[in-house]
Structure 1
Amino acid sequence: MCYILRMTKTMTLRDANQSFSHCIRAVESGEDFVITRNGKPVARLTPVSNARVLTEQQKQALAHFRQVAREGWPLRSGPLDRDALHER
């Protein structure tokens, strides 16, 4: 079984109120928030399920990363030797 350690972010009730849609998008992506009032925790905003929901842009970035990981970066530098790397 694999566990993912997540950092819980803290925000004030005022900030949560002013950016609620942003908070919901972040929670859909797997983030947790503790909401405080006068410096004291009063609520936790956390995903309903453990499954991470990715935006379309995040899905595309993940697919690109996996492709690059399989194929490697196209550096087009040619073969390197020790002397070329340590030119003076």
Structure 2
Amino acid sequence: MQEIVSIRDANQHLSRYLDRVEQGTEILITRRGQPIARLLRVDPQGGLSDAQRAARERLRARMETGYALGGVRLEREALHERGE
């Protein structure tokens, strides 16, 4: 079930709308008749969909391998060596 409310009404009665969201209602907030935000209930079992979890794992793997930028890869110790 979805309710459409203006930003002014949402601002004045936020607690009331949050109670409705908690019960499963989706609230669409509009400004001058145009949708700008949606209030949804958070999934208490983790909050991430399977697609979001898969995307997070791909990102993690990519961050571990890094991107080849064509330069020389420096190790941390080499960056902090001091000329003596």
Q: TM-score, normalised by structure 2?
A: 0.50
Q: What are the superposed Cα offsets for residues 18-74 of structure 1, whole Å, 9 maximum, x if unpaired? A: 0000011111111100000000000000101288xxxxxxxxxxxxxxxxxxxxxxx
Q: Counterparts of 1:8-87 in structure 2 under 5 Å?
A: 8-49=2-43
Identity of aligned pairs, percent?
42
Specify every segment of 5 or more residues in structure 2 that has no aligned partner in the other structure, as ranges: 46-84
Q: How many residues end up aligned between the 2 structures?
A: 45
- Name the CA shift for 1:14/1:27 in 2 (closer, same or farther; >3 Å): same
SS of 1:48's equivalent?
coil
The root-mean-square deviation of aligned C-alpha atoms, in Å, is 1.6
Specify every segment of 5 or more residues in structure 1 that has no aligned partner in the other structure, as ranges: 1-6, 52-88
Structure 1 stretches of 4+ moved >2 Å = none
Which moved further from structure 2: 35-44 or 22-31? 22-31
Of structures 1 and 2, the larger Rg is shown by 2
Q: TM-score, normalised by structure 1?
A: 0.48
Q: Distance in 1 between matches of 2:44 and 2:20?
A: 14
